[in-house]
Amino acid sequence: MTQTLYTESEVKSVVAGLAAAIAADSSERKILLLGLLKGCQPFLADLCRELSRYQLSLAVEYLQVSSYVGTASSGQVKISQTLPESLMRGCDVIVVDDIFDTGLTLKSVVTHLREKGAERVKTCVLLRKEGSSRVVMEPDYCGAVIPDAFIVGYGLDYNEQYRELPYIKVLGEEDRK
Ligand code: 5GP
Ligand code: MG
């Protein structure tokens, strides 16, 4: 049986809460939202729309990052391109990802950005898995904590399927085709 974890409207209110938290912390500096492809896509789009309610100076960029094979982390994080330092200069960079599991992805990206000259880097995830972190790091903004299960929908895929779902569910046996 498929288990819906977050309905479309529940996702919307989690994203609205994250936008409010980001806006409450914002300084005079420009915010650069840096989305990790591909999973960040619907989340980042909705987060931008929610942030538009606040008077912020906002830019958006993306990095292509991958670590998962099927339903498990390979432990190797591949960052496929880099971001010019000129784009990050003077900005508060907020790395946006769908989910924090082992933490290796965000940790690698933050380390990479610091090496490339980013001054202020924060992290924002829609979800984090309970008790699964393998790194000494906490996301600065986290929408909700979920049990340790493999989930799909709202950008999250299983072998490139299910990203289009507007809700989030646990991947069922019947979905592994
Ligand atoms: P981490 O590096 O923190 O272990 O994993 C983060 C990345 O792994 C996420 O950006 C996401 O792409 C992928 N990931 C982790 N857990 C899940 C999950 O439950 N479902 C899906 N579809 N991807 C996941
Ligand atoms: Mg990812």
pTM: 0.93
Please give the distance, rounded to the nearest whole angstrom, from the Cα atom of residue 100 to the centre of ligand 1.
Answer: 6
Does 97 qualify as catalytic in the annotation?
A: no
* Residue 68: per-residue pLDDT: 64
pLDDT above 80: residue 18: yes
Q: In this structure, what CATH number is given to the domain that contains residue 108?
A: 3.40.50.2020
d(CA 14, CA 115): 32
Reported as a single tens digit per residue, the pLDDT across 101-129 is: 989 999 999 999 999 989 899 999 999 99
Cβ pair 121, 83 in contact under 8 A = no
pLDDT digits (tens, 9 = 90+) for 83-104: 888 888 889 999 999 999 989 9
pLDDT at residue 85, rounded to an integer: 85
7 CA to centre of ligand 2 in angstroms: 21
The CA 127 to ligand 1 mean position distance, Å, reads 10
Instruction: Tell whether ligand 1 has an atom less than 6 A from the beta carbon of residue 132.
Output: no
Domain count of the fold of the chain:
1
11 in contact with ligand 1, CB cutoff 6 A = no
Residue 54 lies in a domain: yes
Q: What percent of the chain is modeled with pLDDT above 90?
A: 72
What pLDDT does 67 receive?
Answer: 76
In a domain? residue 162: no
Residue 14 lies in a domain: yes
Q: Is the pLDDT of residue 177 over 90?
A: no
Residue 165: inside a domain: no
Cβ-proximal residues to 132 (8 Å cutoff; 6+ apart), any chain: 101, 102, 148
Q: The dihedral of CA 161, 165, 168, 171: what is its sign?
A: negative
What is the tens place of the pLDDT at every residue in 33-67? 999 999 999 999 999 999 999 999 999 999 999 87
- Is residue 23 domain-resident? yes
pLDDT for residue 97: 97
Taking CA atoms only, the protein residue closest to ligand 1 atom 5 is 101
Q: Is position 99 within any domain?
A: yes
Q: Is residue 136 assigned to a domain? A: yes
Confidence class of residue 69 from pLDDT cuts 50, 70 and 90?
A: low
Q: Is residue 43 part of a domain?
A: yes
Name every residue whose Cβ is closer than 8 Å to that of residue 148 and which is 6 or more positions away in sequence. Answer: 129, 130, 131, 132
From the candidates 101, 148, 157, 175, give the one annotated as an active-site residue.
101
**Res 14: pLDDT:** 98
Would you say the CB of residue 101 lies under 6 angstroms from ligand 1? Answer: yes
Atom 11 in ligand 1: residue holding the nearest Cα? 99
Structural domain of residue 22, as residue ranges?
7-147
Question: Which residue, by CA, sits nearest to atom 9 of ligand 1?
Answer: 99
